[in-house]
Amino acid sequence: MAAIALRVLLLAGLLSACTSMPRPKPSQASGSVVIDGVELVPADQALTEACGRAARIVGFPVPCPGLVIAHREPVGCPTVDLNVWAGGTDCVENSAAGNPYDATGRLDTFTFQQSDMVLPPDYVGTATAANHIWIVGVRDDSRLALVRSGCLGDETRAGPVLFDVPSSWVDCPASASGMHACHRLLRWQKNGATYVISLHGQTAVNERIELEIAKHLVFMR
């Protein structure tokens, strides 16, 4: 009887040890990175190809994302222009900004936007578990440079060195007009262009996400 009791105790101990073992984490896509519960996954080949075409048009190295935030549907660049004066195909914008009376516009801005995101329930951006991101490259002499790379009334502080040049963290206020209101931007200049990664929400989590995306950018020429 003593031997049987010992076996029961040993079996109970093994079961307890097994049930107390940590549960495996959900599987991640190959090559993905998780930042504070936000999964970044490799960009689709179609986006990489669009970046290559864009680079040949705008005339400067295009910041092509190697990682994007996890998504439900394919994310990439438009395949048609918004209109003949605005551009849009392959994420390339015309500095005429859609003005049909401006014949001096040129295709000199790369603007990638993603709003389809799979985010954890405790993440807050534009709303709970929702956000959008801009990845921008704009020629410094473009008429779109100011509105695509910043805002009025921004607060700026030093950021990390990226691609051998200094960067800045830029916070745009809610009162700012344009695409970056309430955003935190990671911004730097190189090759006669200004580059920006911009997420809605001025949080440390967004800083870490933007920095990780920056580290995996591929500059298409």
* Angle made by CA atoms 35, 64, 139, in degrees to the nearest 5: 120
Residues 6+ apart with CB under 8 A from 34: 28, 40
48-57, 89-98, 171-180: the lowest-pLDDT one: 89-98
Quick check: 66 and 42 in contact, CB under 8 A?
yes
pTM of the model: 0.85
3-state secondary structure of 133: strand
Over the stretch 57-85, which tens digit does the pLDDT of each residue have?
999 999 999 999 999 999 999 999 887 67
The Cα 184–Cα 209 span in angstroms is 11
Check residue 138 and give its pLDDT. 97
pLDDT of residue 28: 64
Dist CA 164 CA 130 (whole Å): 33
More confident residue, 13 or 79: 79
Distance, in Å, from the CA atom of 1 to the CA atom of 7, rounded to the nearest integer, reads 10
Residue 48 pLDDT level (bands cut at 50, 70, 90): very high
